[in-house]
């Protein structure tokens, strides 16, 4: 599984959200502003940045940022196993769906004042 954002995207977005200038981020990373801009554009750096200092400045975890720079990607998950466990808490099977009405499972009023109801049944 690949990440949607590369190292530069993550760094640029975190820097923008934390309001840190390119100059301050470059100084913390031990890079020039041009090198930081190249890193943010391509995801690759000409030399190794100080990830711990950069991450601390822009609100990220230094070890995890360095892991992404070193090629870390999320492991593949079996979606069927996750989905089954997640829905098992909410959905209870009915032995005879044809003769049992489907109950209202959840109701709440949203901020707009509308009432939303969900109904479902799983036939065994």
Q: Which residue has the higher pLDDT, 8 or 114?
A: 8
Q: Kindly indicate the confidence band of residue 2, based on its pLDDT and cuts at 50, 70 and 90.
A: confident
Shared domain for 19 and 63, answered yes or no, is yes
pLDDT value for 10: 93
The reply to whether 19 and 50 lie within a common domain is: yes
* Judgement on whether residues 56 and 110 belong to the same structural domain of the protein: no
Same domain (yes/no): 17, 55: yes
Q: Do 39 and 69 meet the contact criterion of CB atoms below 8 Å apart?
A: no
65 and 91 inside one domain: no
Residue 1 lies in a domain: no
- Indicate whether 81 belongs to any domain: no
Residue 118 has pLDDT above 80, yes or no: no
- The number of folded domains in the chain is 2
Reported as a pLDDT band with limits 50, 70 and 90, residue 99 is very low
In a domain, 79, yes or no: no
pTM exceeds 0.85: no
């Amino acid at each position: 599984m690949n990440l949607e954002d590369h190292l530069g995207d993550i760094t640029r977005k975190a820097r923008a959200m934390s309001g840190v200038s390119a100059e301050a981020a470059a100084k913390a990373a031990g890079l020039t502003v041009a090198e930081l801009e190249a890193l943010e554009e391509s995801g690759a750096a000409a030399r190794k940045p100080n990830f711990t200092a950069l991450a601390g400045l822009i609100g990220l975890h230094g070890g995890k940022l360095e892991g992404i720079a070193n090629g870390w990607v999320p492991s593949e998950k079996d979606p069927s196993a996750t989905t089954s466990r997640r829905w098992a808490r909410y959905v209870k099977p009915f032995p005879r769906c044809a003769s049992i009405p489907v109950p209202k499972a959840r109701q709440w009023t949203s901020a707009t004042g509308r009432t939303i109801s969900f109904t479902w049944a799983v036939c065994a």
